[in-house]
Amino acid sequence: MDTTLQDPLVGQVLDGRYRVDARIAVGGMATVYRALDTRLDRVLALKVMHPALAADGSFVERFIREAKSVARLAHPNVVQVFDQGTDGSYVYLAMEYVAGCTLRDVLRERGALQPRAALDILEPVLAALGAAHRAGFVHRDMKPENVLIGDDGRVKVADFGLVRSVDTVTNTTGTVLGTVSYLAPEQIEHGTAEPRVDVYACGVVLYEMLTGDRPHDGDSPATVLYKHLHEDVPPPSAAVPGLPYELDELVAAATARTAELRPYDAVAMLALAREARARLDAGQLDAMPPRALAAEHRDISEDRTSVIPRALTTPHPMPAGGEGAGPELHRTSRLESPPPLPPRRGARSRRGPLAIVVAVLLILGVGTGVWYINSGQFTKVPPVLAKTRAQAERQLSHAGLGLGKVKHAYSDTVKRGTVITSDPEPGTRIRDNGVVSITVSDGPETVKVPDLAGYRLDKAQSLLKRDGLEPGMVDRTFSDDVPKGFVVSTDPGGGTKRHAGAAVALTVSKGSPVDVPDVTGESLEDARSDLQDAGLQVQVADQQVNSEFDKGQVAAQTPQGDSQAADGDTVTLTLSKGPEMVEVPDVTGDSVDDAKKALEDKGFKVQEDRGLLGLFGDTVKDQSVQGGRTAPKGSTITIKIR
């Protein structure tokens, strides 16, 4: 089932620029779409925050600030951020679109990876994180879902949506942001954001690549968090016998529960990874691991970035004698540089050519590829143009592909019933279990617009559909000749030829015009009688308003009096609650100008009474309503001037 059909954003254009074409993925904090930048004609990924988070002003402000910071990270292994903006309730990031798959996809399909493949993915990830760490940022949500492997083999780190400055703490809201399976102990306990939390997550990801499963599991997020706090990550060789101890040591160094015992950032971790690779021979690097079935049955909710209540992350006492109760939890010695891996007896002392090339490329910041990870997972779209739908479906099936959406379009050049285009196009590289959508020709076809004048609207719309046309906009006009509800004319007119499926606008009669009487100021009974005598229906609004008219009289009407309506149309009447009573200011003794201003500011009209003695006076001696009393707003107050 194509779930994007139910997504309200698909098909919309955000900020008048980004056309949302398809939903790619849904995470705990945002949804990612494939979109087109209509201004630059460029395909990109659009990450839109979930409405619940977008409603939090402080979160959005932080999101925008941090997005701007990440946009300054220029590294070939970091997904580039192009733009950030808001459109109504939508807060979004426009990012580089990477055609391919995620590391999670690879693990679900293959289970455990060969050590060479695991290191070839880990090293560019560490290079990307190292660039972020040296720029003062921490990712905080490293996991296989955020490692993209392009069709060309490039490895890129995505989703810096939780990025924070080094040495910040995020426990002020009573929650922790992240994914439970990859949270470092200090993140769980204190919300700490410093480079070592990314190192820890990379160690868990490496363990998962080598074994096909995560080191800690449980029946609930709280159980997983507890294990991160109180249990060491086991050596990968315990799950996959035969893995070199150098990889066990690399995982142990990255996932030490005491933060100070880990490499201090991703650059230091990268140095350890290169050293471990250099000590492995080709046979060890290319050893085929057993397929890990656990990855296929895992609860995918554990893979999502979540806002985790602090109560779930609060450490609980371990049972007496339980693992992790020893003093090593409280060690505070800090390693100023990553510890070297111990030399392996009999290990080859020189690096293999591939390891040297990888190391040089990573030092230079050049993205390395793992093209062989995707080998065997792709095929090419077969030539299906000019084939019938059945023939195209058979060819796709023979290529291991499925038939996606089938659209229809008219064509003056392609035979009816045969394929005009396919998406992706023939010859395009595609996953071997992918689907291909096709557009089938309905041939060249034009339809004569029927003459619908004098038909009732519903009948006219039915006749348009019968002839292969679509009923379009309905406009209404007064007519002395055509009864109400019947068609006056069409656009285009009857007899005009149009392509099948074209829309035809309809103009429908409102009947002869009726003069609407002005009933404001009348009682409801009198107003209803006058309007019904004119052939109009009456409706009374639920709300009443203050007005110059007495309570119960008509204060307003829609449509207004002296306008025109159709016979049988409804006039809505709004009744008066009576005038609003306002306290009259005391203006005696004031100048005329000051008195008038004070009264008019309160909503009163002012009349001057100068008499014979006040022709040249400028002082108010008396007022018709004394100050402090109330009078209807809009009424007239007379001031006497002497």
Catalytic residues: 141
Produce one character per residue of 120-152: b if its CB has 16 or more CB atoms within 10 Å, e if not: bbbbbbbbbbbbbbeeebbbbbbbbbbbbbbbe
Element (H, E) at 63: helix 57-71
Q: How far is CA 635 from CA 57, 161, 549, 551, 600, in A?
A: 46, 61, 11, 16, 10
Helical axes 195-211 vs 266-278, angle rounded to 10°: 30
Q: How far apart are the first and last CA of the chain?
A: 87
Count of H helices and E strands in the chain?
Answer: 17, 35
- Tokens matching residue 571: 């006039």
Q: How far is CA 389 from CA 96, 398, 400, 404, in A?
A: 35, 14, 17, 12
Looking at the chain, how many residues does it have? Answer: 642
Map residue 100 onto helix, strand or coil.
strand
Pairing of strands 378-380, 192-193: unpaired
Burial class (CB in 10 A: 0-12, 13-18, 19+), 53: middle
> Alpha-carbon distance 468 to 475, whole Å?
21
> Alpha-carbon distance 75 to 129, whole Å?
10
> Alpha-carbon distance 297 to 316, whole Å?
29
> Alpha-carbon distance 461 to 501, whole Å?
13
Torsions phi, psi for 154 (to 5 deg): -70, 145
C-alpha dihedral sign at 178, 129, 276, 145: positive
Task: Give which of 602, 606, 604, 612 is closest to 591, Cα–Cα.
Answer: 606
CA angle 216, 220, 223 (to 5 degrees): 50
* Preceding omega of 235 cis (within 30 degrees of 0): no
> Alpha-carbon distance 382 to 427, whole Å?
6
> Alpha-carbon distance 600 to 582, whole Å?
12
Amino acid, single-letter form, for residue 538: V
Pairing of strands 164-165, 137-138: antiparallel
